[in-house]
Every structure is written in structure tokens, then in C-alpha cells.
Amino acid sequence: SQTIHQWPATLVQPVGSPLSLECTVEGTSNPNLYWYRQAAGRGLQLLFYSVGIGQISSEVPQNLSASRPQDRQFILSSKKLLLSDSGFYLCAWSMGGPTDTQYFGPGTRLTVL
């Protein structure tokens, strides 16, 4: 069966510091991968998605970036964090196709101070 991992689970970073969040999927090949952000008590906002290695689409222009160095690895990065980057970051995967369904990882809670 497929599993999705995210780390770290929680992170506290100062303003202006770099960021690297990692997401990996097991048990499948060539998945679609997604990064979402959720503000407290709010719905999810799609940040990036990828349909293959090196293919990244950005939904919201901001100081975050994403990379997919391996088939089942998706990384969210920032060179300099802002206070507004605080939130809960969720990674998801799907297999595409007509019945495409997204499955989510456990998330990373990021606090920028």
C-alpha cells in the first residue's frame, strides 16, 4: 500500500531564515505531488504541484519554491522566511487519471517568529 511521509512534523524558525520541508511517497511510481498551506481554522490553499521529476507548477507567487529531485520526493523551500509563512503545510499525492484522488500526508506545522 502507499504511504506518504512529511518531516519535520513541527518547526519553529526565525524570520529571514531558510526553510526546507520534505515529502516522500512510498509504494507507487510517478505520482502527482502537491503542496498546500492551511492557515489556522481555514481551508487549504494549493501552492505547488508536480506531475513528474523536475516539473513544477506554481499556483501562488510568493517567496516559497518547490523542487522534485526524485520521482517520489517533493521539497518545499524558502531562502528567507516571512512571518506570513507561518501555517500548516500539507503534502499530497495522487495517481492522476479520470478517478484522480488526492491523499494527504501528516503535515508540518511551521511557526515563524
Partner 1 sequence: AQTVTQSQPEMSVQEAETVTLSCTYDTSESDYYLFWYKQPPSRQMILVIRQEAYKQQNATENRFSVNFQKAAKSFSLKISDSQLGDAAMYFCAYRSNTGKLIFGQGTTLQVKP
Alpha-carbon Rg for the chain, nearest whole angstrom, is 13
Question: In 3-state terms, what secondary structure has residue 84?
Answer: helix
Among 14, 29, 43, 69, binds partner 1 (CB under 8 A): 43
Is residue 94 at the binding interface for partner 1, with CB under 8 A as the rule? yes
Give the nearer residue to partner 1 in terms of CB position, either 17 or 62.
62
Torsion angle (degrees, nearest 10) of CA 79, 34, 89, 73: -70
Is residue 104 at the binding interface for partner 1, with CB under 8 A as the rule? yes
Among 11, 71, 73, 109, binds partner 1 (CB under 8 A): 109
